[in-house]
C-alpha cells in the first residue's frame, strides 16, 4: 500500500484535496496496488476550506510520522500564505518531502513546498494568477505557469483546481500504468487525461471580452469562422476602422494583437476537430486557415506543447477504453 498524505490548512481549496483524493481511491479499487490516503493538518479535526466546506483531518502533524509518507500532496488555497508562516507545519512538510518518494503540490500549494525548501532550483508551476507572487517570493525557482503540471525529478507541481486531477492521474500512471490511469479517468468522467505540457490557457480564459461594438464584431467574425481571411485589413473593413486604429483598440480591449487572437482561435478549433473526427492534419490545416500542416503543427506545439497527432491519439485511446 502506497501511503499518500494530503496536507490541508484553514482556507484550503476543497477541490485541491477531493479531486486528487478520489483519483487515488479509484485507482486503488481498480488495481492490485492500493493507496492508503490520509489527510493531515496542523491539528487533527475539522478544517474549514475556502468555501466553508469543513473537512475532517484525521491526523495532526504531531500524529503522523513524516518518514512514513510515500507521496506528499500539498493543497493550495487562500490560506496558504498563513500556512507558510507556521514554522511547525513548514518543518513537517520539509521532513516529509525529504523522506518521501515524491512530493507534489496543487495550485498555490507550491508556496508551501517552496517555503519548506522543497522546490529550490526546480522548474515549477502554479495557478496562473499566483505566478508573479511566486516569482517575487522565491526568485530561486524557475516558474513556468503555462503547463498544467510539471515534473522535475521527484517533485511535481500543478496549476489550479482541476489540474490537480490531471496531476494525480499522471502519478497513478507513473505507479500503475496507462491502463489503470485511463480506467480511472473513465470512471470519473474525465474525458481526457491532459498531458502536463498542455497550456493552462484557452481562448475563453485568457482573453478579455471587448468593450466596444467594432471590436466585438471583429472577435465574433473570427470565432464564427476561424478559417476565413482575417488579415488586419479584412478585420478593419469589417469594423469600419483603419488598420492602425483596429490594431491599437483590439490590443487594448482584448489584451493581444489581432493576429495572435486569430491564431489562438484557430488552435482551439483544431483542438476540437482533432478530438471529434479523423480529418487529416493537412486538410484540417487548410480548412482552418493555417495553410499547411507544418504551420498547424508549429502553432499547436507553441500554444499547447504537444503535437496534433499526439493530441488526437490521446482521445482515441480514451475511446478505446470507454
Show Cβ contacts of residue 98 under 8 Å, excluding neighbours closer than 6 positions. none
3-state secondary structure of 29: helix
SS (H, E, C) the chain: CEEEEEECCCCECHHHHHHHHHHHHHHHHCCCCCEEEEEEECCCEEEEECCCCEEEECEECCCCCHHHCCEEEECCCCCHHHHCCCHHHHHHHHHHHHHCCEEEEECCHHHHHHHCCCCCCCEECCCHHHHHHHHHHCCCCEECCCECEEEECCEEEECCCCHHHHHHHHHHHHHHCHHHHHHHHHHCCCCCCCCCCCECCCHHHHCCCCCCHHHHHHHHHHHHCCCCCCCHHHHHHHHCCCHHHHHHHHHHHHCCCHHHHHHHHHHHHHHHHHHHCCCCHHHHHHHCCCCCHHHHHHHHHHHHCCCHHHHHHHHHHHHHHC
Contact between 151 and 173 (Cβ < 8 Å): no
Cβ atoms of 45 and 9 within 8 Å: the answer is no
Active site residue 84: no
54-79 CB burial, b ≥16 within 10 A, e <16: ebebeebbeebebeebbbbbbbbbeb
Is residue 78 classed as helix, strand or coil in its secondary structure? coil
Out of 37, 84, 107, 145, which one is annotated catalytic?
107
Active site residue ranges? 107
Amino acid at each position: 500500500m502506497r501511503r499518500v498524505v494530503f496536507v490541508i490548512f484553514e482556507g484550503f481549496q476543497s477541490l485541491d484535496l477531493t479531486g486528487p483524493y478520489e483519483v487515488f481511491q479509484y485507482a486503488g479499487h481498480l488495481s492490485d496496488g492500493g493507496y492508503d490516503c490520509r489527510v493531515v493538518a496542523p491539528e487533527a479535526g475539522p478544517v474549514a476550506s475556502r468555501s466553508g466546506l469543513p473537512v475532517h483531518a484525521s491526523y495532526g502533524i504531531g500524529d503522523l510520522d513524516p518518514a512514513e509518507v510515500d507521496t506528499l500532496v500539498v493543497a493550495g488555497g487562500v490560506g496558504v500564505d498563513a500556512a507558510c508562516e507556521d514554522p511547525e507545519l513548514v518543518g513537517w512538510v520539509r521532513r516529509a518531502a525529504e523522506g518521501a518518494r515524491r512530493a507534489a503540490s496543487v495550485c498555490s500549494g507550491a508556496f508551501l513546498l517552496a517555503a519548506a525548501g522543497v522546490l529550490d532550483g526546480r522548474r515549477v508551476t502554479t495557478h496562473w494568477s499566483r505566478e508573479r507572487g511566486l516569482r517575487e517570493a522565491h526568485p530561486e525557482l524557475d516558474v513556468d505557469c503555462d503547463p498544467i503540471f510539471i515534473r522535475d525529478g521527484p517533485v511535481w507541481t500543478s496549476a489550479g483546481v482541476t489540474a490537480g486531477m490531471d496531476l494525480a492521474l499522471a502519478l497513478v500512471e507513473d505507479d500503475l500504468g496507462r491502463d489503470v490511469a485511463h480506467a480511472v479517468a473513465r470512471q470519473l468522467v474525465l474525458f481526457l487525461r491532459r498531458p502536463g505540457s498542455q497550456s493552462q490557457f484557452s481562448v475563453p480564459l485568457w482573453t478579455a471580452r471587448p468593450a466596444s461594438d467594432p471590436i466585438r464584431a471583429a472577435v465574433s467574425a473570427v470565432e464564427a469562422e476561424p478559417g476565413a481571411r482575417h488579415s488586419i485589413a479584412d478585420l478593419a473593413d469589417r469594423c469600419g476602422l483603419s488598420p492602425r486604429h483596429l490594431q491599437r483598440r483590439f490590443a487594448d480591449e482584448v489584451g493581444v494583437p489581432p493576429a495572435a487572437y486569430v491564431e489562438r482561435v484557430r488552435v482551439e478549433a483544431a483542438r476540437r476537430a482533432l478530438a471529434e473526427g479523423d480529418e487529416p492534419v493537412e486538410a484540417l490545416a487548410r480548412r482552418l486557415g493555417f495553410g499547411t500542416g507544418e504551420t498547424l503543427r508549429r502553432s499547436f506545439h507553441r500554444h499547447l506543447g504537444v503535437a496534433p497527432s499526439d493530441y488526437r491519439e490521446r482521445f482515441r485511446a480514451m475511446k478505446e477504453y470507454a
